[in-house]
Amino acid sequence: MTDPSFRTELDGDGILSVVWDMAGRSMNVLTAEAIAELSAVVDRVISDDAVKAVLVSSGKKAFSGGADLTMLEGIARLYAREKGQHGEAAAAKAVFEESRQLSLLYRRIETSGKPWAVAINGVCLGGAFELALACHYRVASDDPSTRVGLPEVKVGLFPGAGGTTRIARMMQPQDALQMLMKGEQIRPDRARAMRLVDEVAPKDEIVGRARAWLLGAPKAVKPWDEKGFKLPGGPVWSKAGFMTFPAANAIYRRETQDNYPAIRAMLQAVFDGLQLPMDLALTVESRLFAKVLRSPEAAAMIRTLFVSMQELNKGARRPKSVPDTKLRKVGVVGAGFMGAGVGYVSALAGLEVVLIDQTEEAAAKGKAFAQKLISDQVAKGRATGADRDALLGRITTAQDYAALADCDLVIEAVFEDPGVKAEVIGKVEAALREDAIFASNTSTLPISGLAQASKRPENVVGIHFFSPVEKMMLVEVIVGKQTGDRALATALDYVRAIKKTPIVVKDSRGFFANRCVIAYMLEGHLMLTEGVPPAMIENLARQAGMPVGPLSLNDEVALDLGLKIVRATEAQLGPQAVNAAQKALLETLVEKEGRLGRKNRKGFYDYPEGGKKRLWPGLVELQQTRLDPDTLEVAELRNRLLVTQALEAARTVEEGVITDVREADVGAILGFGFAPFTGGPLSWIDGMGTARFVELARSLEARHGARFRPNALLVELAEQGETFYGRFARTEEHAVAAA
């Protein structure tokens, strides 16, 4: 017997209050048990004449984040089991019947003959918002935390419990498609303007407002179930329809390169569904949803971007023996672009921040950067003037290291020079409490080496942010040879506090993300030197699923930094450790052409003031050979760009830099955008099979050299018919969280 998910109470006016309040959870989620319980409530509503209306609300701070996606993983296992026992057709039917239960339940609510109203506070997303859409009236709180939306596309799915079909009947098709394809979380005021909610009210009034509407004896019929209903945008086969759907298909292909079957299926559900009565449209939606649910893309994205990411966010890698850290005050040494960003996200999380720099003026510039960021949020309506003032009040600036005396954690973000950082460590430790933790934001220097300058190396850890700090969600936590469990736990607690996702990596050159990124950019450089047209390199990278091409990415990182890394690698490891063609290319661009990247508006691209970036025409003149694009093997070029990154990820596992395969996949997608539809580089290898991947790598090695040689671990997995997740998956129970 499980604890109830819903509390019900019938009042004297015949209004049944249904309070969603799952025991033992901080957030309501749609589990199989909760769905069965809600179904019983609907049975009562339909059969009990004493029930005249229904008011749904939440007993939590938030309404609900949606469905437990581990439940959908169970449906995938159902498919595999049924296919093995009864064949493909029976398995597909079983998945269809199981996955449409929520859609059928919501349709029963909609057509129960009795009005349902819902009071929404906090997040109401995914399957929970589909429940709200099935209700006849929606009142949302004006609380800053309130958001509604259907974000399923972000985990390889689409709204399959009626959300797609209902949204397409509630607004113009172009607006519906835009909302469904973006998967955004929408603020109450905008939701009201979009007619996604009917009313916005103060938090303590939403239940009363919903009840008042029910007492007005409203009709319990949705517009699309009334005779004479007309679609907001008119028929699909009309002038307006012809202006909408071909354009939507073109946008889909431009933005996704046809790599995301869920979005394609969603477009089809809308197009087909608008030509059918409601119940048939819902059946079409369910069939397409069941098909997407069986896709490898959905399985990979759910595992990495939902299950694994939630586990890491909840502290899967945190040392269990260390009590929770109560962080109050954080110091940041170096108030430049990175340091100022770190200060901003720390203050945004409610922490007190001390910004230190060589002069008061430099430290003040760091605070001014934070002021600009929060002011931009105020201008966009995402924060208030009071929020801005409170955040700025939490940031103090100083030149004197003594201001760090009562900090729990200090993060240095100074120049990437071992001598400079060693000097900073000495000054910080002279002012800091002995139990405080020191972290370096270095992106290139080994933590173990930096810790040699510390009197307390067990308290030294790496916290590597990605640029821009306020936007990038990944943080690498680097463990040096002497880093203690308390330092690691504090770093992970801090990353959780600022609402970013951590991965734990062993100290090594390039850590994890930079190693993969460097391999990706190298491949783009070598393609250019081989004579591949620059535009082709960039476009094929996007076709492969990368957010930007390797040349564009290098511009963002800075070409002179790339040259510096190449030369530092050569100085430390010898000339055989660098690629001569890449080095020559970067030397020409940086030292002869003065092209440093986006920062000086000249790199592989030109960045005209007020205009769009465009590839520098002079790149062609640098190519000694120019290949005819019609003679090139497009699939091989795409494979080169992904395989080089996947091989580097596999090497980090073999070397122990990555000790948890979840972190390689989550880190790759969040850190440098490795084709999200694959679930990450290790999931991509597992998906095609390690034997097939090794064969692909060896074919590329034969044509392009040793950088494509599969490492020993990969070869071993291939020979034994194993996968990364099969051998290395963690045994902890999956965390159940909301989608």
Instruction: Please provide the distance, in angstroms rounded to a whole number, between the alpha carbons at the two ends of the chain.
Output: 25
Helix (H, G, I), strand (E, B), or coil: what is residue 556?
helix
Among 86, 136, 464, 734, the one annotated catalytic: 464
Give DSSP secondary structure letters for 55-88. EEEESSSSSB-EE-HHHHHHHHHHHHHHHHHH-H
In 3D space, the residue among 440, 459, 437 whose CA is nearest the CA of residue 450 turns out to be 440
Q: Report how far residue 707's alpha carbon sits from residue 407's, in angstroms, rounded to the nearest whole number.
A: 45
Distance CA 97, CA 84 (A): 18
725: its two tokens: 């997740």
CA distance 638 to 539: 10
Does the annotation mark 464 as catalytic? yes
What amino acid is encoded at 564 in this protein? K
Q: Which run of H or of E encompasses 117?
A: strand 116-120
Pairing of strands 614-615, 605-606: antiparallel
- Residue 644 φ then ψ, to 5°: -60, -35
In sequence order, the 6+-apart residues with CB closer than 8 A to the CB of 254 are none
Number of Cβ within 10 Å of residue 254's Cβ equals 10
In whole angstroms, give the CA distance from residue 128 to residue 146: 13
Burial of 231 (0-12, 13-18, 19+ CB in 10 A): middle
> Which one, of 558, 633, 630, lies nearest residue 596 by Cα?
558
Length of the chain measured in residues:
739
DSSP string, 608-650: -TTS--EE-TTHHHH-SS---GGGS-HHHHHHHHHHHHHHHHH
Give the Cα separation of 555 and 123 in Å (integer): 38
Beta carbons within 10 angstroms of residue 735's beta carbon: 18
**Helix spans in 204-277 (H):** 206-215, 239-256, 261-273
Q: What are phi and psi of 504, to 5 degrees?
A: -100, 125
Q: How far apart are CA 356 and CA 168, in angstroms?
A: 53
Residue pair 682/724 in contact by the 8 Å Cβ criterion? yes
User: Is the CB of residue 195 less than 8 Å from the CB of residue 169?
Assistant: no
Q: Which residues are catalytic?
A: 464
